[in-house]
C-alpha cells in the first residue's frame, strides 16, 4: 500500500470500500459530496450497492434494511441531513443494527453554512434521536486517521451490534493529505445469526429487525441490555491521545481538526518556555472521562477548544469534577480558530497578557 495525496472525503470512501462496505446510501450535501460521488462510481464497478436516496430520511432507512439483512453498510451527511437521519438512527440503535454514519460537520443551526464546525457534538454524542441510547463516536484529526477510524467503525459496529458515527468536519473532508488506504486486519467477529437473510432451508425461527417493545417491562429490560453493552464498550474501546501532559501547567482538551490547531499553538508556546499539554479524545462516545481526569491531575487549569459555543466542555467538566477551573475558547459558524488565537488565549489564562 503506498501513500498518496488524497482528499479526506475520498479517503473515507476508499477506506470503507477496503473495509468491505457492501452498500452505500446517501443524499448530496456540502461538504461531504465527494463521498457519495466516489461511491456512485466505485460501488457498482465492484458489484456492490450505491443508491442516491430521495432524502436523508430514506438513506438512513435503506441503511436499516441493509444492516438488518447483515450487510456492511454506510451513509454520510452533514448539518440538516444529519438532523433528518436522527429518527432512523434511533431505530437502528433500538434494533441493534450495525452501520457506519459519517458526519462531515458544517456550521449550524438551520441551513447554517458550509464551512467546517464542531457544533454537532451534542447531536452525535448525547443522542440526537429520541429515547435512551448511545452510539459509538470516533473523531479523526488527520486524513490517515479518518481512514483508520472509518475501518475500525465497521468492526466496532459489527462487534457490538451498534451504529457507529465517524464525526469529521469540513476541514478534514475537504483537505488533501498524504495517507495510505489500509486493508484492515480484523479479529474474528460474531456471526450475524440475527440477520434477516430469509429462513431458507434452515429450521430457525423468523428473525425480526425490531425496536418495538409495547410491554414497558420488556422495553426497560431492552434498554438496560443496551446500557450494559455500552458499559462493555466503555471498558474496552476508549481511545485518547496525549501530548506533553507531564509538565503541563495548562492541559488543553480538543478533538478533530481543532486538536491540530492546538498542537501548533503548543509548538509556539514551547519555544517561549510555556509547557502546555493536549488531551485529544478519539472516541467522543464512550468519552474518556477517567483518562482526562488523570491527564489533568498536575495541571493548574484546563482549556477546552472547540469549533462551537462549547459542547464537549460539558463532558470535560464532568471529567474534571470541579477539581480545577475548566475554561473555554471557541469560534463558531464555520470560523476556524487560528493557532495564534489559541496562543493568546493561553497567555491570557496564565495572566501574561
Partner 1 sequence: MKQVFKKTTMLTDKPFTYCPGCTHGIIHRLVAEVLEELGIGQDTIGVAPVGCAVMCYEFFNCDMHVSAHGRAPAIATGIKRVYPDKIVFTYQGDGDLASIGTAETIHVAARGENLTTIFINNAIYGMTGGQMAPTTLMEQKTTTSPTGRSESLGGNPIKMSEILATIDGVCYVERTSVHNPQHIIATKKAIKKAFQNQIDNKGYSIVEVLSNCPTNWGMSPQQSLVWMEENMIPVYPLGVKKEVK
User: Residue numbers of the site for partner 1 (CB under 8 A)?
Assistant: 22-23, 25, 49, 51, 53-55, 57-59, 61-71, 73, 87-88, 91, 95, 196-201, 206-212
Question: Could you tell me the smallest distance in angstroms from the CB atom of residue 325 to partner 1?
Answer: 44
Q: For partner 1, give the closer residue by CB, 63 or 265.
A: 63
What's the closest the beta carbon of residue 212 comes to partner 1, in angstroms?
5
C-alpha span between 265 and 305 (Å, rounded): 12
Residue 297 grid coordinates: 491531575
Cβ-based nearer residue to partner 1, 206 or 322: 206
Taken in order 208, 213, 214, 217, the sign of the CA dihedral is: positive
Would you say 54 or 272 has its CB closer to partner 1? 54
In the complex, least distance from residue 59 CB atom to partner 1, rounded to whole angstroms = 8
Say how far apart CA 156 and CA 170 lie, in whole Å.
24
From CA 308, how far away is CA 319, in angstroms rounded? 19
Least distance CB 230 / partner 1 (angstroms): 22
CB of 138 to partner 1, least distance (A): 23
- In the complex with partner 1, the residue whose CB is nearer, 39 or 149, is 39
Residue 91 CB, shortest distance to partner 1, in Å, is 5
Q: Is the dihedral of CA 266, 270, 273, 276 positive or negative?
A: positive
Compare residues 203 and 246 and give the one whose CB is closer to partner 1. 203
List CB contacts of 250: < 8 A, sequence separation 6 or more. Answer: 276, 277, 299, 300, 301, 302, 303, 346, 349, 350
Q: Write out the DSSP string of 255-293.
A: -HHHHHHHHHHHHHHHHTT--EEEEEESEEES--HHHHH
Q: 206 or 351: whose CB is closer to partner 1?
A: 206
Interatomic CA distance for residues 247 and 59, integer angstroms: 48
Amino acid at each position: 500500500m503506498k501513500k498518496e495525496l488524497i482528499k479526506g472525503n475520498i479517503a473515507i470512501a476508499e477506506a470503507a470500500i477496503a473495509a468491505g462496505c457492501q452498500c452505500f446510501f446517501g443524499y448530496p450535501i456540502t461538504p461531504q459530496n465527494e463521498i457519495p460521488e466516489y461511491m456512485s462510481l466505485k460501488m457498482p464497478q465492484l458489484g456492490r450497492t450505491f443508491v442516491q436516496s430521495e432524502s436523508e430520511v430514506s438513506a438512513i432507512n435503506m441503511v436499516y434494511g441493509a444492516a438488518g439483512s447483515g450487510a456492511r453498510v454506510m451513509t454520510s451527511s452533514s448539518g440538516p441531513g444529519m438532523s433528518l437521519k436522527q429518527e432512523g438512527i434511533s431505530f437502528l440503535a433500538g434494533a441493534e443494527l450495525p452501520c457506519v454514519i459519517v458526519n462531515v460537520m458544517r456550521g449550524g443551526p438551520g441551513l447554517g453554512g458550509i464551512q467546517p464546525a464542531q457544533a454537532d457534538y451534542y447531536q452525535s454524542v448525547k443522542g440526537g434521536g429520541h429515547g435512551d441510547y448511545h452510539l459509538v463516536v470516533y473523531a479523526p484529526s488527520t486524513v490517515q486517521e479518518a481512514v483508520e477510524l472509518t475501518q475500525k467503525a465497521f468492526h466496532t459496529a459489527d462487534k457490538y451490534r451498534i451504529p457507529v458515527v465517524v464525526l469529521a468536519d469540513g476541514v478534514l473532508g475537504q483537505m488533501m493529505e498524504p495517507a495510505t488506504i489500509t486493508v484492515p486486519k480484523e479479529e474474528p467477529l460474531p456471526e450475524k445469526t440475527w440477520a434477516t437473510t430469509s429462513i431458507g432451508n434452515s429450521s430457525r425461527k423468523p428473525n425480526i429487525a425490531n425496536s418495538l417493545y409495547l410491554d414497558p417491562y420488556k422495553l426497560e429490560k431492552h434498554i438496560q441490555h443496551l446500557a450494559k453493552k455500552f458499559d462493555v464498550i466503555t471498558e474496552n474501546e476508549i481511545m485518547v491521545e496525549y501530548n506533553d501532559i507531564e509538565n503541563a501547567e495548562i492541559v488543553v482538551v480538543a478533538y478533530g481538526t481543532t486538536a491540530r490547531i492546538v498542537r501548533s499553538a503548543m509548538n509556539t508556546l514551547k519555544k517561549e518556555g510555556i509547557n502546555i499539554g493536549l488531551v485529544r479524545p478519539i472516541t467522543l462516545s464512550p468519552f474518556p472521562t477517567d483518562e482526562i481526569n488523570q491527564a489533568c491531575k498536575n495541571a493548574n487549569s484546563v482549556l477546552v477548544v472547540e469549533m462551537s459555543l462549547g459542547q464537549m466542555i460539558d463532558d470535560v467538566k464532568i471529567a474534571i469534577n470541579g477539581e480545577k477551573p475548566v475554561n473555554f475558547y471557541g469560534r463558531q459558524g464555520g470560523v476556524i480558530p487560528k493557532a495564534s488565537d489559541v496562543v493568546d488565549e493561553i497567555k491570557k489564562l496564565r495572566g501574561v497578557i
